[in-house]
Amino acid sequence: MTRDDRELSWRRHQRHAFHRPSPDLAPHVARYWEVSWHYDRPYRQLVVPYPNVHLTFHDGVARLTGVSSGHAVKELAGVGRVFGVAFRPGAFRPFLGAPVQSLTDRTVPATTVFDHLPARADRASVEDALRRNLPEPDPRARLAVELVDRIADDPAMTRVDALAREVGLGVRQLQRLFAEHVGVGPKWVIRRYRLREVTERMAAGGRIDWAALAADLGYADQPHFVRDFTAMVGEPPTRYAERYSVPAAT
């Protein structure tokens, strides 16, 4: 099956912008993002998730979307714009007042959690609304944020039991903490950030030795790596690499 040619030239059809949160909101918010598009015919956009809860504003409607446990496909058509808030992984439990896992793979009206949301969103108006809804500090949420950051920042972190030992928790305790505050398990988070490194290597160009890369990421063999990558991203790595014109290793 051939690719949609617009996938490889998406900058002709989409504009992306990212904004940092103000310092007082940085413990809760990872970033603000904006996407606008213009398509003459519908386009199927592949979305590969990270462990963020998102607050989005589109066509005057505000929605909350929990962590997606797998890739998704969004159809973009005509002219449109979305403004979004990506909350820091682990930081949304105090806003929600319930386990973040209860929101996983779901989208709900944002008014179920937030009051005084703007009709048309921009950074200033959304930050005003978030400040009106700020929760009390939660040490468990802070710990969850720190652990996700630890996973994201350390390419050598490939095992849940190693993380549990490092922070002095049992594996089951760690799993419960992640279900409560992140929405997915620590194994999912580790896998996602290690697979991020695969796409970064693709974007850098050059040949990739898939078997060696699988070993670097802590996989027992290449088939297990391919299975995880395909489940998360929706395509095997060699096909996904076509986006970057990455040749296979010989």
Q: What is the pLDDT of residues 104-137, one digit of tens each?
A: 999 999 999 999 899 889 999 999 999 999 999 9
More confident call, 183 vs 217 = 183
What's residue 4's pLDDT? 79
Q: Do 92 and 143 have their domain in common?
A: no
Q: What is the pLDDT of residues 64-102, one digit of tens each?
A: 999 999 999 899 999 999 999 999 999 999 999 999 999
Q: Does 250 reside within a domain?
A: no
Q: Does 249 reside within a domain?
A: no
Domain span at residue 81 reads 5-132
Query: CA-to-CA distance for 137 and 199, rounded, in angstroms?
Result: 35
Is residue 45 over pLDDT 60? yes
Q: What is the 3-state secondary structure (H, E, C) of 78-116?
A: EEEEEEEEEECCCCCHHHHCCCHHHHCCCEEEHHHCCCC
Query: CA-to-CA distance for 249 and 226, rounded, in angstroms?
Result: 15
Q: Do 73 and 149 have their domain in common?
A: no
What's residue 242's pLDDT? 81
Q: Do 9 and 128 have their domain in common?
A: yes
Query: Which residue matches tokens 């030992």?
Result: 165
Backbone angles phi, psi at 169, to 5 degrees: -120, 155
- Our count of domains for the chain comes to 2
What's residue 2's pLDDT? 62
| DSSP letters spanning 160-188 | HHHHHHHHT--HHHHHHHHHHHTSS-HHH
Q: Does 27 reside within a domain?
A: yes
By the 8 A CB rule, do 179 and 171 touch? Answer: no
Query: CA-to-CA distance for 240 and 243, rounded, in angstroms?
Result: 6
Q: Do 84 and 20 have their domain in common?
A: yes
Q: What is the mean pLDDT of residues 38-60?
A: 94
Is residue 174 over pLDDT 70? yes
Q: Tell me the residue type at 160.
A: V
CA 38, distance to chain mean position in Å, is 24
Q: What is the mean pLDDT of residues 24-53?
A: 95
Q: Does 173 reside within a domain?
A: yes
**Residue where one domain finishes, among candidates 86, 113, 132:** 132
Confidence category of residue 184, pLDDT binned at 50, 70, 90 = very high
Q: Do 13 and 107 have their domain in common?
A: yes
Q: Do 213 and 104 have their domain in common?
A: no
Q: Do 33 and 75 have their domain in common?
A: yes
Q: Does 80 reside within a domain?
A: yes
Q: Does 217 reside within a domain?
A: yes
By the 8 A CB rule, do 80 and 104 touch? Answer: no
Q: Do 185 and 212 have their domain in common?
A: yes
What's residue 250's pLDDT? 41
**Residue where one domain finishes, among candidates 103, 132, 161:** 132
**Residue where one domain finishes, among candidates 95, 110, 132:** 132
Q: Does 224 reside within a domain?
A: yes
Q: Do 120 and 33 have their domain in common?
A: yes
Q: Do 168 and 214 have their domain in common?
A: yes
Q: What is the mean pLDDT of residues 175-197?
A: 96
Q: Do 86 and 71 have their domain in common?
A: yes
Confidence category of residue 241, pLDDT binned at 50, 70, 90 = confident
Q: Do 17 and 126 have their domain in common?
A: yes
> Average pLDDT of the chain?
92
Q: Does 85 reside within a domain?
A: yes
Q: What is the CATH number of the domain that holds 194?
A: 1.10.10.60
